[in-house]
Structure formats: structure tokens, C-alpha cells
Amino acid sequence: MSSPAPVIGSYRKPAVASDVRADAVPEPQIVDNRPKVESPSRSLTEGVQEDLKSSIDRTKDAAEKAKTYSEILSERDISLNKAHAIVDAMLEKGFYEETLEVTKAITVTFRTRTQADYIRYLRAIEVYNPKFVEEQQEIQIRYFLAASLVAFKGQVFMHADAEKLYELKLAWLEKQPERLVSLLASKLNKFDQRIQIVMSEGVVENF
């Protein structure tokens, strides 16, 4: 039996693949390009909230600052009344004096130093030009002690001329035993630290 003859001119359209889904084409999205306008009520509410937060933060900072100052005084065993006395003396007289125990029978009186005392120390550093840290520390101890020393063991250092008074105390210190000078320096260091704490930044706001 002969095979059927091919049909000339018979063309068919290719079939669409079965795995192509109708939803493969993304749907167009509508974008609103109009400028956003905040409502007056919303702007007002946000502004009030920001002002309130700023006010609360300022109040909190002030409270924490005062609390921190009180805590620092307490940690150093400095009463608020003592701090008041130091601040008042510094602001009214320009200096503060305090008598400390060296031993149960011996006391020393120190006074806070002036800017002139510090400048004198800097000039001494320039003159001596120390090569080692120990040398600079020794100069600092002598010059700071001479500037702060008011009385020791009942002896009050006095002179009408301020520079001669300073030289008198410096000469006295150079004649003392090294251990005594070291002990006085330790007492002065504690005195200076107490003054520094009481007169820390923001001290006026705490009184």
C-alpha cells in the first residue's frame, strides 16, 4: 500500500509552550509623584513633642550634673558646707587657707597658689632646664611648697615684701630633711586635689 502524498503548501503555526504563564508579564505600577504636604496639625504636634523632649533632656542633664558633683564631694569626704566655705573664700578673698595635721602634735597651714606662683615655677624650669623628670618634679615640689606654705609647727612665715617672703620660705625648705619635705609635699598634694574637686567646672551652678 503506497504512502499518502505530502500536502504541498500546508503550514501550521508553532504551538505555544505549555509552561509559559499568563502572569509572567509584570503589572504596571502607579507612582504618585505629587509633592507630599504635611498637615498643619501634624507639624504642630511633632514640634510640641520635640520641644517637650528637649526640655526633659535639659532638666535631666542638670539634675545628673548636680548629683554627680554631690557624689564626687561625698567620695572625697568633703561636706557641702566645706565646699561652700572654699568657694566663698576663693571668690571673695582670692585664696583659701587650711590647717592640716602632719602628726597629732604638728600642723601645717597651706594657702592656694596664684597665677604668679605658677609663672614663677615655669621661669624656674627655663632657668634650671632639667634633663630628667625627677629633676623637674623636685623643682615643682619646692616651688609649689614655698608658694603655698603659710605656717609650720607654730612658725608663721611673714615678710612685708611678697618676693622676699617667697625666697625666705624657699631657703627654709632647702634646709629641711628630705623626708620632711616629701611629707609636706604629700599633704600639699591632697590639699590641691581637694581644691581642684571643689572648684571643678560648673561649680557656680551647684551653689
83 vs 50, higher pLDDT: 83
Mean pLDDT of 77-95: 92
Highest mean pLDDT among 17-21, 149-153, 203-207: 149-153
pLDDT confidence of residue 1:
52
For residue 194, CA distances in Å to 7, 58, 71, 78 come to 116, 29, 14, 8
Alpha-helix residue ranges (DSSP H) falling in the chain? 40-75, 80-92, 115-128, 133-148, 162-174, 178-198
pLDDT, tens only, 153-181:
999 999 999 999 999 999 999 999 999 99
For the chain, the domains span: 76-206
The CATH classification of domain 76-206, taken from the options 1.10.3470, 3.30.2220, 3.40.1710, 3.30.310: 3.30.2220
23, pLDDT greater than 70: no
Mean pLDDT of 116-134: 95
pLDDT confidence of residue 206:
59
Q: Match 514640634 to its residue by C-alpha cell.
A: 47
Interatomic CA distance for residues 59 and 56, integer angstroms: 5
38, pLDDT greater than 80: no
104 vs 28, higher pLDDT: 104
For residue 153, CA distances in Å to 83, 108, 159 come to 26, 6, 18
